[in-house]
Chains A and B, each alone.
Chain A
Amino acid sequence: MNYRKHNLSFWSKLKRGESLTDSVFLLTITVSLFIAIYALSIIFLGDKGFSKIQMFFNLFNENAALIVIACGLSIVMITGSIDISVGGSTALICTACIVCLNNYNFNFVTTLILALGIGLVFGAVQGFLIAYLEMQPFIVTLAGMFLGRGLVALVEVNQIQVDNAGFEMLSGARILIPFLGDINKKGVFIQSKLEYGVIVAIIIVCLMFWILRKTNLGRSFYAVGGNSHSALLLGINVKRTRFHAHLLCGLLAGIGGFLYLFHTRSGSVQQATGLEMDAIAASIIGGTLLTGGVGNIFGTLFGVLTSGIVLLVVTAIGSQDPWWPQITRAAMLCFFIVLQSVICSRKKK
């Protein structure tokens, strides 16, 4: 319904010859790209599992953590900043939580508090340095990325697994979707399964959409990202807004890191390599401009899903070489970055 309404406004605007806003234009590209790729993969790769309903749910199961982290990144990018430390902090959260679960008898709640705490500390320190000391966000968060990964090695050098019965039971739980499912080779009907993390991710997407559209905080994010000078003239506390954006991103990175742990149940130094890249790519694909001030959380959601389905297709096409997924990701990012730049420069003229 929402999509339809959005589409109507798209066509009516096109008919009246009005130019679309950049965000809507990019979101339209993303949504249609997602639908097109999914439809094509069902038609041509149906025998490789793309026609199964479970495949659609797996797309969410695999990417729940990424959705949450990408939401955080969209928010800092809307504010005109960036955060590339989320991969490092996710790796740190996973390892630290596992060590505490295994050795110090942490339970579900204390682990969650630890994860959120790590995320918030990262967000607060980086936000302070970027907003109040006016340091370059890229340098600060690059240091944060290496700091996070380095701290993982200080906590635990080897790869470790969760060894805590209560936590494993909770993370193994699945929601069975009524009336939806696939028939397997033996002709038995199997209900589709959804992880609890996906529910959290969807709630967060809706919550962030509400914050960005309806609250003062969210609107000041757009104002600061669009033009910080005019935001200052409007009476917005620019520094505090930037700080809040990073704090929110840190909190979401904490939640995302916890979901990542909930899904993988393991931790290592090399874990979540390139996660920051995926999140930035998802935001960019979803129509968040790197220059700030433009963006849409639902676009980010579709950005994650689009890159997810592209990766699945690349793997399914049957290339045994391990390098194609990463190269495809980068190529997609390149395409969308250049597209954005072209749109921006055209607008200037």
Chain B
Amino acid sequence: MTRNNNKLDTDRFASVLKALSRHRMFIPIAFLAFLLLINVFINPSFLRVSLGRDSTGSPVLIGNLINILNNATELVILTIGMTLVTASSRGQDISIGATVSIVGGVIMRVLCGNETQPTQLHAPILVALLLGCLAGIACGAFNGILVSKFNIQPMVATLILFTAGRSIGSMAMGGLKPKAAASFGYYGNFIPGFPVPTPILITIGAIVVTLFALKRTNLSLYTRAVGINDKASSLNGLNPALIKFLTFVILGLCVGIAGFVQSSRVQTVNPYTIVPSIEMDVILAVALGGNSLGGGKFNMTGSIVGAYTIQTLTSMLTTLNVNTNAVPVFKAVIIIILVAIQTPMLKSLFVKKVTLSNLTAGAGKERG
């Protein structure tokens, strides 16, 4: 009797595990847990968060987790936009690193004018933020027009800004390397007296706004519809070109905010090295979040968890003393494995087994 019970329990456990492993969030969360586990093994005090004091004496939160949450800001914000672009246009924007450089250049020019070491800001920070976002949106609109109006593959269309972006950023700054006044640094570091890093607050705000927009507006539905079949969606009265254009504009806005936070971190911008190879990280985060890179359905929560996972991986590789330039090697291998798992070829091997077992069990509701 007890034996039978045990067997039932293990069966149930196995089926629960099976269902879990098929859940969309399984891959990102399992990978994140795995990375955190390795980190704890390397450094037992990894998860500790403590309250310390910075050089001016105001309280700040210190700890590896806080660092990861803080540094992931740009990645998370860009991933939100990229998930929408991937879903609607069935391709990725590879120009985001370059457009962040343009935004950084514009913000620096607005704040510093033609001086290299201004003692005070030349314009209110709000104006800089707005102009930065405007620059980002302009870049997004440029890509969006090429993709939606001229029907160019997204990756080819964004190749143009991918090439020119960092040079345009340098041009926006007039070839100077100015350093803005310290008050601009509040948005990338700490507001004096408040212990939580400001980027974390910005990220939370961005996530809340995004999830609210996806829940309350038709953005999510329309994006999916266009991504799955744009002809069918156009027969249903949607305008696929407009939806694609809008997702690129939203990504442009995300680039604007990310560029603002990034340039505020050290109050200076080197257009040629700012956020190096972030396009790779963002695409990896989208893929890791369980989204198909071929468009259609998307899972925003998965993408956000994926972005944090990537940041954990990056900081882990940095603590292991891997050269910054060599970090992409590991990410490239992981992205290849992740995308390879999603391919129809390998999937068909897996799905065939599942449907057979389901057929024998008499429950044939498994569908691609």
Is B332 touching A337 in the complex (CB atoms < 8 A)? no
Q: Is B239 an interface residue (CB 8 A)?
A: no
Segment of A32-40, A133-141, A214-222, A246-254 engaged in the interface with chain B: A133-141
| A341 touching B151 in the complex, CB below 8 Å, given contacts A135-B343, A327-B171 | yes
Is A277 touching B159 in the complex (CB atoms < 8 A)? yes
Q: Is B41 an interface residue (CB 8 A)?
A: no
Closest Cβ–Cβ distance, residue B265 to chain A (whole Å): 23
Quick one: which of B316-356 are within 8 Å of A by CB?
A: 323-333, 335-336, 339-340, 343-346
- With both beta carbons as reference points, the residue of chain A lying nearest to B279 in the complex is identified as A142
- With both beta carbons as reference points, the residue of chain B lying nearest to A146 in the complex is identified as B328
Number of interface residues of B (CB under 8 A): 49
Q: Give the complex CA separation of A153 and B329 in angstroms.
A: 9
Q: Give the complex CA separation of A325 and B343 in angstroms.
A: 40
Is B155 touching A322 in the complex (CB atoms < 8 A)? no
Quick one: which of B131-161 are within 8 Å of A by CB?
A: 146, 150-153, 155-157, 159-161
| Interface core residue of B151, B164, B339, B345 (most chain A CB under 10 Å) | B164
Contact of A142 among B146, B283, B343 (CB under 8 A): B283
| Interface core residue of A143, A154, A280, A330 (most chain B CB under 10 Å) | A143
Quick one: which of B281-299 are within 8 Å of A by CB?
A: 283, 287, 293-294
Is B293 touching A146 in the complex (CB atoms < 8 A)? no
Is B164 touching A331 in the complex (CB atoms < 8 A)? yes
Is B167 touching A326 in the complex (CB atoms < 8 A)? yes
Contact of B332 among A132, A144, A290, A331 (CB under 8 A): A144
The residues of B that contact A169 with a CB separation of less than 8 Å are none
| A323 touching B160 in the complex, CB below 8 Å, given contacts A135-B343, A154-B329, A341-B152 | no
Contact of B329 among A147, A274, A280 (CB under 8 A): A147
Quick one: which of A325-349 are within 8 Å of B by CB?
A: 326-327, 329-331, 333-334, 337-338, 341-342, 344-345
Is B163 touching A326 in the complex (CB atoms < 8 A)? yes
Is A330 touching B335 in the complex (CB atoms < 8 A)? no
Q: Is B168 an interface residue (CB 8 A)?
A: yes
Is A290 touching B153 in the complex (CB atoms < 8 A)? yes
- With both beta carbons as reference points, the residue of chain B lying nearest to A344 in the complex is identified as B151
Is A327 touching B340 in the complex (CB atoms < 8 A)? no
Contact of B156 among A142, A324, A327, A337 (CB under 8 A): A337
The residues of B that contact A82 with a CB separation of less than 8 Å are 155-156
Q: How large is the interface on A (under 10, 10 to 19, 20 to 34, 35 or more residues)?
A: 35 or more
Is A333 touching B339 in the complex (CB atoms < 8 A)? no
Closest Cβ–Cβ distance, residue A298 to chain B (whole Å): 23
| A330 touching B160 in the complex, CB below 8 Å, given contacts A290-B153, A321-B175, A323-B168 | yes
- With both beta carbons as reference points, the residue of chain A lying nearest to B94 in the complex is identified as A142
Q: Is B73 an interface residue (CB 8 A)?
A: no
Q: Is A312 an interface residue (CB 8 A)?
A: no
Is A342 touching B280 in the complex (CB atoms < 8 A)? no
The residues of A that contact B280 with a CB separation of less than 8 Å are 142-143, 146
Is A333 touching B323 in the complex (CB atoms < 8 A)? no
Q: Is A269 an interface residue (CB 8 A)?
A: yes
| Interface core residue of A132, A135, A274, A290 (most chain B CB under 10 Å) | A135
Is B161 touching A330 in the complex (CB atoms < 8 A)? yes
Q: Is A242 an interface residue (CB 8 A)?
A: no
Q: Is A244 an interface residue (CB 8 A)?
A: no
Q: Is A157 an interface residue (CB 8 A)?
A: yes
Q: Is B306 an interface residue (CB 8 A)?
A: no
Contact of A152 among B155, B166, B325, B332 (CB under 8 A): B325
- With both beta carbons as reference points, the residue of chain B lying nearest to A154 in the complex is identified as B326
- With both beta carbons as reference points, the residue of chain B lying nearest to A132 in the complex is identified as B345
Q: Is A129 an interface residue (CB 8 A)?
A: yes
Q: Give the complex CA separation of A321 and B171 in angstroms.
A: 8
The residues of B that contact A153 with a CB separation of less than 8 Å are 323-326
Is B163 touching A149 in the complex (CB atoms < 8 A)? no
Contact of A134 among B156, B168, B343 (CB under 8 A): B343
The residues of B that contact A277 with a CB separation of less than 8 Å are 159, 162-163
| Interface core residue of A146, A330, A338 (most chain B CB under 10 Å) | A146
Q: Is A150 an interface residue (CB 8 A)?
A: yes
Closest Cβ–Cβ distance, residue A338 to chain B (whole Å): 6
Q: Is A151 an interface residue (CB 8 A)?
A: yes
Q: Is B92 an interface residue (CB 8 A)?
A: yes
| A149 touching B328 in the complex, CB below 8 Å, given contacts A134-B343, A143-B335 | yes
Is B155 touching A138 in the complex (CB atoms < 8 A)? yes
Q: Is B170 an interface residue (CB 8 A)?
A: yes
| A323 touching B170 in the complex, CB below 8 Å, given contacts A290-B156, A331-B164 | yes
- With both beta carbons as reference points, the residue of chain A lying nearest to B334 in the complex is identified as A143
Q: Is B277 an interface residue (CB 8 A)?
A: yes
Q: Is B199 an interface residue (CB 8 A)?
A: no
Is A150 touching B294 in the complex (CB atoms < 8 A)? no
Q: Give the complex CA separation of A150 and B280 in angstroms.
A: 12
The residues of A that contact B171 with a CB separation of less than 8 Å are 321, 323, 327
Q: Give the complex CA separation of A324 and B163 in angstroms.
A: 12
Q: Give the complex CA separation of A277 and B156 in angstroms.
A: 10
- With both beta carbons as reference points, the residue of chain A lying nearest to B324 in the complex is identified as A153
Closest Cβ–Cβ distance, residue B333 to chain A (whole Å): 7
Q: Give the complex CA separation of A140 and B280 in angstroms.
A: 11
A-B contact pairs, 26 of them (CB 8 A): A84-B159, A129-B336, A133-B343, A133-B346, A134-B343, A134-B345, A139-B283, A139-B339, A140-B339, A143-B332, A146-B280, A150-B327, A150-B329, A153-B324, A154-B329, A269-B325, A280-B156, A290-B153, A323-B175, A327-B167, A329-B163, A331-B164, A334-B146, A334-B160, A337-B156, A342-B150
**Which 8 residue pairs across A and B have the least CB separation, nearest first?**
A330-B164, A153-B325, A150-B329, A323-B167, A146-B328, A326-B167, A147-B332, A143-B332
> Which residue numbers of A lie inside 8 Å of B, CB to CB?
82, 84, 129, 132-136, 138-140, 142-144, 146-147, 149-154, 157, 269, 274, 277, 280, 290, 321-324, 326-327, 329-331, 333-334, 337-338, 341-342, 344-345
18 more contacts with CB within 8 A, not counting A133-B340, A154-B329, A331-B164, are A133-B343, A136-B294, A139-B283, A139-B293, A140-B339, A150-B325, A150-B326, A153-B324, A290-B153, A322-B175, A327-B168, A327-B171, A330-B163, A334-B160, A337-B152, A337-B157, A341-B151, A345-B151
